[in-house]
Structure 1
Amino acid sequence: MPRLIAARLLQIAVTLLILSALIWLVMGLMPGDPLDLAMLADPALTAADLERMRALHGLDRPLHERYLAWGAAVLRGEFGFSRLYAVPVARVLWPALGSTLVLLGAALALAAGCGVLLGVLAAVRPRLAPAADALAILAQSTPSFWLGILLIILFAVTLGWLPAGGVAESGGVLEALRFLALPVATLAIVNLATYSRHSMASMQSVLAEPYIRTARMKGLPPRAVIWRHAFPNAAMPVLTVAALDAGGLVSGALITETIFARPGMGKLIYDAVMGNDYNLALLALLLASLVTMLATLAADVAQRLLDPRLAG
């Protein structure tokens, strides 16, 4: 296990290095730069002013030299400033990541928990499989923006039980949970289908294995057969799905964050790219990639803990 973790961490470091170079190249080839936008915002700036500012910020140097200087600064722990927000990048990046991880963690836990229970129930009781399939298809085909708007209309506008969006400025944990309820429900319902169908298919396959029949013939209680012997092996594909979902939601929850006016990584990456904020966009994209790879590593470790045979 330690060798696996060390090898994967090295792989993550190399992948981040390659990704950073590719993203830097793509963003560097985009038309315009931050100073062009500054000139549009302040027509009083002259060409000489722009040249001095380019020299000051190193924008007059070749692309590869600017990349190497940026990489050296990041390795020293200097993340630079955000042109869009006029503050250090860390002051913008960490709050957005924290907000998205809270939303992501709650949504994944709810989607995986409900989806796995539904899938296991459908596998154990085949008569419920058509209903579980229909519910999964309905959830999977529901657009997140449409579902989010419906939940706002029902619970915020009509019933007045929950806030329509934003974040809790005060009020403690309960108030924060009230603001989280609708966006978490939106993401969880849309992603529930994946866990339900994967867990049902995996559980059906495991329940047909000879060792499950042997456990039943020995007289073990049905609950022990399902949860102690069958479920650990059936859970491995679900762990992989959860790992992939974790990374996708970190950078892809833009629609849900926009509907519910929540600051997060999806909105931050979009604003940074559209605003030519190279430094913020690059670091935000790399951070989203890092979360995806760490989640995949955690899933691999969990799979080996569930099945020691994989460790060899």
Structure 2
Amino acid sequence: MAGALRLAALRLPQIALTLLLLSLAAWFAIGLMPGDPVSLSLMADPRLTAADVARLRALHGLDQPLTERYLAWGAGLLRGEFGYSRLFAQPAVAVLWPALLSTLVLVGAAVLLAALAGTGLGALAALSPRWRRPVDLLALLAQAVPGFWLGILLIILFAVRLGWLPAGGLPAEGESPLRYLILPVATLAFGQMAAYARHAATALSAELRRPFITSARARGAGEGRLLWHHALPNAAVPLLTLLALDAGALVSGALVTETLFARPGMGKLLYDAVMGNDYNLALLALLLVALVTMLATLAADLAQRWIDPRLGE
């Protein structure tokens, strides 16, 4: 417990500093881009006069130096003022939280499915060498198949041909959300499953050759008990690292799947905000994705120390 607290106390300031540096870099990168929301509004509405543009720029603080605007924006964040989304004409928080929740549900289910299926396949390959080649071939296939192509095939088969599942979108009121999650979760999980299968097979094979496993086998312990109670806890450390990296990457990387299945989420929201020149929303979404990624990594490190206390020594 003490080691976990020390790790959290060390990592949280690093997370805060990373977010600060990321916000600085993103703010100045966006600020140095040609054009701003008011100029784009002028292009969209030629009836605006130069006086209207000047008044709008002053109203939104765009006539101030970039540094002063960043400090004002940062002070607003510390006060809990997240501003408005110009693209959605709503408070930014009202747009961010539903998108984050949708993505976390999708990514969480996909990562859980990929981890369970991949670890199971890896365990099968570790226990029985004759299964190693089929598992490797399946993992290679899962890595080679593009996610968007797999998603299209699943839609054609299960939504168009068989009519068992919806092709995408969100459930209407009273409908079960599970049916709308199956295809996008399967699309995301299939590609991720390959890494878990290969890591699990390698780690479990190495653990099953350890001397203490040989001793336990000589004392009459069954193969299932050796695998799940002795080998897996030691092999779980690299799998947890992979789990954290997957969870963080998929929060922002599920754009193709969310677009294909018409699911509102962080990937699609970030894309729409950038393409719609909604700079405040884009920056907030970027920071939120980075925060979720770093917290997922911290959670994995804490879980690793809980499984193997020697890591905290």
Task: Give the TM-score normalised by structure 1.
Answer: 0.98
Q: Residue 33 of structure 1 aligns to which amino acid in structure 2?
A: D
The residue correspondences of 1:58-77 to structure 2 (distance < 5 A) are: 58-77=61-80
The 5 A counterparts of 1:173-192 are 175-192=176-193
**C-alpha displacement at 1:217, in angstroms?**
2.1
1:220 is aligned with what amino acid? A
Query: Among 128, 153, 156, which residue is 1:153 paired with?
Result: 156
The one-letter amino acid of 2:299's match is: A
Question: Aligned match of 1:38 in 35, 38, 41?
Answer: 41
What count of residue pairs does the alignment treat as equivalent? 310
Deviation at 1:274, TM superposition (A): 1.4
Q: Which runs of 5+ in 2 are unaligned?
A: none
For residues 1-312 of structure 1, the aligned pairs below 5 Å read 1-172=4-175, 175-312=176-313
Separation of aligned partners in 2, 1:231 and 1:170: 42
Summarize deviations over 1:100-125 as a string: whole Å, max 9, x none: 00000110111110000000110111
Distance 1:270 1:235 in 2: 35
Separation (CA, whole Å) in 2 of partners of 1:169 and 1:47: 46
| Separation in 2, partners of 1:31, 1:166 | 35
Identity %: 65
Of 217-226 and 100-109, more deviation after overlay is shown by 217-226
Secondary structure at the counterpart of residue 177 of structure 2:
helix
Distance in 1, matches of 2:13 and 2:173, equals 42
**Whole-Å separation in 2 of the counterparts to 1:294 and 1:84:** 28
Structure 2 CA distance for aligned equivalents of residues 262 and 70 of structure 1: 30
CA offset digits 1:147-201 (Å, max 9, x no partner): 00000000000000000010112125xx200011100010011111011111111
AA aligned opposite 1:104: V
My pick for the range that moved more, 67-76 or 210-219, is: 210-219
Tell me how far apart the structure 2 counterparts of residues 70 and 197 of structure 1 sit (CA, whole Å): 46
CA distance in 2, matches of 1:64, 1:106: 41
1:258-302 superposed Cα distances (whole Å, 9 cap, x missing partner): 100000000100011111111100010000001110100111011
CA distance in 1, matches of 2:141, 2:283: 37
How far apart are 1:209 and its partner, in Å?
1.7
Structure 2 distance, partners of 1:311, 1:285, is 31
- Runs of 4 or more off by more than 6 Å in structure 1? none
Which AA in structure 2 matches 1:268? L
